[in-house]
């Protein structure tokens, strides 16, 4: 058996084939179409024995440009990502964000967590905050992560006079601790497979406001575990304000956690993968 990820599936599948490996499993995370190139069709049809997707969106998007018979349906398996439940069992946070960043007790904490790169589109959140601050002032937004767009985002913050609202934390290892302390997460990515941060937010029992894209709507139930928003700064600001004012944030978070525990734990993912390998 040979198990390969998206970026290695061509080399990996050939290596496995030449080595006489009985099963070559391609686990795809990227929710983007596989190009309809001759060599991609050959690899998928001749070398790959099993295709595993991490979300229904990933599965559908992957084959969007390919012929229907490029790989048999019997070779395809859907197994969602999973997060370790144990990481979110601590009763107290490991850090104190309010003390670290001088945040007042009466200010709501909103977080965006992810790489500061094109895919994650944090500029949409920043422009929404520019609208939101005219309606509500007692909040802080934590932009957690690092990446090549950091200077661009800092320029937007300066241009919109948001330096008193937005905090760039840089890369952090204490994500479970951060999630324990914030009120909710805002997710703005352009595309996703099955995003870890959404699963982690659910595991932490927190609601989420997310731009409505394929795959996110597989995880977030609009109006029940969070709010799904069009990619529009005014409507995103409205949905963030709606979450701020909601008296059901705790109930939303509890429902999200319940869904996580039934469907998206690391243990469940491993068991499904193990069963699949042994089938």
Q: From 13, 40, 45, 42, select the one nearest 27 (Cα to Cα).
A: 13
Alpha helices in 44-182 (DSSP H): 56-62, 97-100, 122-132, 150-159, 175-181
Q: Is residue 62 part of a domain?
A: yes
CA distances from 186 to 15, 132, 142, 200, 268 (A): 42, 13, 10, 13, 26
Q: From 173, 176, 171, 237, select the one nearest 201 (Cα to Cα).
A: 176
CA 55 from centre of chain? 11
Q: What distance in Å separates the CA atoms of residue 1 and residue 22, rounded to the nearest whole number? A: 6
| Same domain, yes or no: 74 and 31 | yes
Dump pLDDT digits (tens) for 139-165: 999 999 999 999 999 999 999 999 999
Mean pLDDT, the chain, rounded, equals: 94
| Same domain, yes or no: 180 and 159 | yes
| Same domain, yes or no: 40 and 152 | no
| Residues forming beta bridges with residue 28, ordered by sequence position | 53
- Cβ neighbors of 246 (< 8 A, separation 6 or more) are 207, 252
Buried/exposed 90-104: b ≥16 CB within 10 Å, e otherwise? eeeeeeebeeeeebe
Dump pLDDT digits (tens) for 218-277: 999 999 999 999 999 999 999 999 999 999 999 999 999 999 999 999 999 999 999 998
Alpha helices in the chain (DSSP H): 9-18, 38-42, 56-62, 97-100, 122-132, 150-159, 175-181, 196-203, 216-219, 233-245, 249-263, 266-278
- Cβ neighbors of 159 (< 8 A, separation 6 or more) are none
Q: Where are the beta strands (DSSP E) in 38-138?
A: 50-53, 76-78, 108-113
Q: What distance in Å separates the CA atoms of residue 141 and residue 170, rounded to the nearest whole number? A: 13
Q: Is residue 250 part of a domain?
A: yes
Radius of gyration (Cα) for the chain, nearest Å? 21
Residue 14 in this model has a pLDDT that exceeds 70:
yes
* CATH code (residue 97): 3.40.50.2000
Dump pLDDT digits (tens) for 110-142: 999 999 999 999 999 999 999 999 999 999 999
| Same domain, yes or no: 97 and 167 | yes
The residue range of the domain holding 95 is: 86-260
pLDDT of residue 1: 62
Residue 16 in this model has a pLDDT that exceeds 60:
yes
Residue 67 in this model has a pLDDT that exceeds 90:
yes
pLDDT of residue 92: 79
Q: What distance in Å separates the CA atoms of residue 53 and residue 50, rounded to the nearest whole number? A: 10
| Same domain, yes or no: 40 and 145 | no
Q: Is residue 272 part of a domain?
A: no
| Same domain, yes or no: 166 and 107 | yes
- Percent of the chain residues past pLDDT 90, beyond the cut: 80
Q: Is residue 278 part of a domain?
A: no
Residue 2 in this model has a pLDDT that exceeds 60:
no
What tokens appear for 258 in the block?
């319940």
Last-in-domain residue among 78, 113, 136: 78
What pLDDT band is residue 22 in, cutting at 50, 70 and 90? Answer: confident
Q: How many residues comprise the chain?
A: 279
Q: Is residue 266 part of a domain?
A: no
Q: Is 181 helix (H, G, I), strand (E, B) or coil?
A: helix
236, 229 contact by CB (below 8 A): yes
What pLDDT band is residue 279 in, cutting at 50, 70 and 90? Answer: confident
Number of domains into which the chain is organized: 2
Residue 21 in this model has a pLDDT that exceeds 90:
no
pLDDT of residue 3: 61
Dump pLDDT digits (tens) for 81-94: 999 999 998 867 88
Q: Is residue 149 part of a domain?
A: yes
Residue 29 in this model has a pLDDT that exceeds 60:
yes
Last-in-domain residue among 34, 56, 78: 78
């Amino acid at each position: 058996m040979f198990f390969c990820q998206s970026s290695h599936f061509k080399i990996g599948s050939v290596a496995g084939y030449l080595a006489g490996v009985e099963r070559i499993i391609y686990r795809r995370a990227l929710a983007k179409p596989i190009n309809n190139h001759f060599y991609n069709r050959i690899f998928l049809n001749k070398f790959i024995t099993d295709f595993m997707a991490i979300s229904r969106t990933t599965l559908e998007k992957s084959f969007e440009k390919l012929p229907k018979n490029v790989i048999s349906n019997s070779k395809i398996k859907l197994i969602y990502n999973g997060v370790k439940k144990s990481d979110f069992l601590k009763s107290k946070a490991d850090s104190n964000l309010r003390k670290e960043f001088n945040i007042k007790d009466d200010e709501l904490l909103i977080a965006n967590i992810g790489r500061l790169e094109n895919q994650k589109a944090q500029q949409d959140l920043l422009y929404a905050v520019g609208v939101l601050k005219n309606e509500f002032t007692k909040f802080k937004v934590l932009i957690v992560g690092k990446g090549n767009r950091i200077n661009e985002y800092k320029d937007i913050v300066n241009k919109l006079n948001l330096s008193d609202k937005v905090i760039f934390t840089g890369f952090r290892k204490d994500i479970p601790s951060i999630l324990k302390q914030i009120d909710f997460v805002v997710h703005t990515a352009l595309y996703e497979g099955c995003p870890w941060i959404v699963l982690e937010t659910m595991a932490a029992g927190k609601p989420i406001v997310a731009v409505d894209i394929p795959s996110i709507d597989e995880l977030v139930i609009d109006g029940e575990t969070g709010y799904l928003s069009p990619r529009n700064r005014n409507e995103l600001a409205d949905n963030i304000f709606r979450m701020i004012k909601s008296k059901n944030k705790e109930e939303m978070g509890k429902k999200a956690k319940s869904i996580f525990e039934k469907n998206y734990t690391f243990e469940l993912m491993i068991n499904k993968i193990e069963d699949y390998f042994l089938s």
